[in-house]
Amino acid sequence: MSTRKPAFVAPPQDGPLPPWLQQQMLDLLQQRGHAWLLQGPSGLGQYAMALGLVRSWLCEQPQPDGSACGHCESCHGVEVRTHPDLFVLMPETQLQELNWPLGEKAQKDLDDKKRKPSKEIRIESMRDAVEFSQRTSSRNRGKAVLIYPAERMNHVTANALLKTLEEPPGDVRFVLATEAVHQLLPTIRSRCMSHTMAWPQQDQAAAWLVQQGLPAHDAAMLLQAAGGRPHDALALASQGVLAVNWKQLPQAAWNGQVTAFAGFTPLQAIDALQKICHDALLVRSGSTPRFFVPEDFPAAERLAGWNQLTRWSRQLARDRRSAEHPYKADLFLEDLLSQARLALQPRSQPAGRAAAPAVRPAATYR
C-alpha cells in the first residue's frame, strides 16, 4: 500500500494540558482515590490527562491547585521517561509510538527479531508492574502506574492486576485510561473511581488545534471529520490527512477510487467509510452531513436509496470486526472501495426483484 506523505507533525501530547483537560484533572486531584479509570470515546485526551495526573501525583513542588510544577526533578524525570516511581503499562506498539522505553528483555527480544512488538499488554509486563507496586518509592512522593489503553489487557493480564487494585500497597496510585470501557472486566471497573471524559467546546478545541500548528481551515474541517474529538483530529492530521484530502473522500468512495484512501490502515478506511455512509444517509434525506460538508457529496439524487445505504452500514460494522489484522491490507482496501461504489451509486433495479447481493463482505480476502 502506498503511504501518504506526512504533511503535518503533531507535537507530543505530554506537555501542558489543553484547558478543558486541565480543569478535569484539577477536579480529580481534589478527590481521594487510589485508582482512576478515565473513560470515553477515542480522541478526548485520555492519555494526555492520565499523564498529567501521574505528573501531578509525583511532583515534588506541586502548585496550590495540586497540579505539577513542571520544573522539579520529578517532573523532569517524567518528561524524559526515566522516573523510577512511574510504571507505564502499555502494549509494546503503544510504548514505541509514544516514546516510552521497553523493558530490557523485551527490547532485546525485539532487537533480535525474536518476535514482533505486542499489541496487547503482556502478562510479563503486568507482573513487573505488580512487583513495582510492592517496592518502596525512590523519591518519597509515592508511586504511580499508568495503564493505557486499558482495554488491551486480556483476561489473564487483567486478573493479575485485580488483587493489587483491590488491596494496593500503601503509596501506589493507578490511572487506567480507556477508549473502550465495555471491553474491560467488570471487576476491574468496579475497583476504580470512574471519570467520564468531558467534551470540549468546539471553538476551544479548534483554537487548540491551531496552537498545535494546524492551519485554521484544516483545524475546523478535521475537527468536524473527527466528530468533534480534538485528539482524533490531531491524529488524522498526523497521518497526513488534511482538509483537502478529507473532503474528496465521499466522491472518491462513490467512484470506488482506492488512491484517495492510500495510507489509511484498514481500520481507518472503515472509519472514514462509516462516516461517509452516515452522512450519505443524511444527504439522501435532505439533512446536513455531520462529518463532511454538503458540497463534498454527489447530489442527493445520485446517491443510492435508504435500504441500500443501511445494508452497507451493517456490512461496514461487520467488516470493522475483521479489520484489525486483514490478511492482505491492500486487497482488503480495494474490496472496501468497490463495495463503497456499489453501495453509494443508485442501481436501476426494478423494485421488489431479487437481486444479487450488492455488497460483498470485505472479509472474503482474509
Residues lying near Zn ion in the complex (CB under 5 A) are found at 59, 68-69, 72, 75
**C-alpha closest to that of 93 among 39, 53, 149, 131:** 149
Q: What is the DSSP letter of 147?
A: E
Nearer to Zn ion, 28 or 304 (CB): 28
> CB of residue 78 vs Zn ion: minimum separation in angstroms?
8
> CB of residue 146 vs Zn ion: minimum separation in angstroms?
17
Nearer to Zn ion, 59 or 221 (CB): 59
**C-alpha closest to that of 310 among 291, 285, 287:** 285
- Residue 174 contacts residue 144 (beta carbons within 8 Å): yes
Q: Which residue in this structure is represented by grid cell 468512495?
A: 253
Nearer to Zn ion, 48 or 359 (CB): 48
The three grid cell numbers given for residue 32, joined into one nine-digit string? 481521594
Nearer to Zn ion, 69 or 358 (CB): 69
Q: What is the DSSP letter of 304?
A: P
> At 146, phi and psi to the nearest 5?
-110, 125
Nearer to Zn ion, 75 or 176 (CB): 75
Nearer to Zn ion, 69 or 160 (CB): 69
Chain length of the chain: 366
> CB of residue 62 vs Zn ion: minimum separation in angstroms?
7
What dihedral angle (degrees, nearest 10) is formed by the CA atoms of 223, 151, 173, 190? 110
- Secondary structure (3-state) at 329: helix
> CB of residue 29 vs Zn ion: minimum separation in angstroms?
13
**C-alpha closest to that of 281 among 313, 315, 318, 249:** 313
> CB of residue 83 vs Zn ion: minimum separation in angstroms?
11
> CB of residue 73 vs Zn ion: minimum separation in angstroms?
8
d(CA 51, CA 79): 10
Nearer to Zn ion, 59 or 206 (CB): 59
> CB of residue 304 vs Zn ion: minimum separation in angstroms?
57
Nearer to Zn ion, 78 or 219 (CB): 78
- Secondary structure (3-state) at 247: helix
- Residue 162 contacts residue 131 (beta carbons within 8 Å): no
CA 68 → CA 29, 75, 76, 141, distances in Å?
Answer: 11, 7, 11, 12
Q: What is the DSSP letter of 262?
A: T
> CB of residue 68 vs Zn ion: minimum separation in angstroms?
5
Distance of CA 108 to the CA centre of its chain: 28
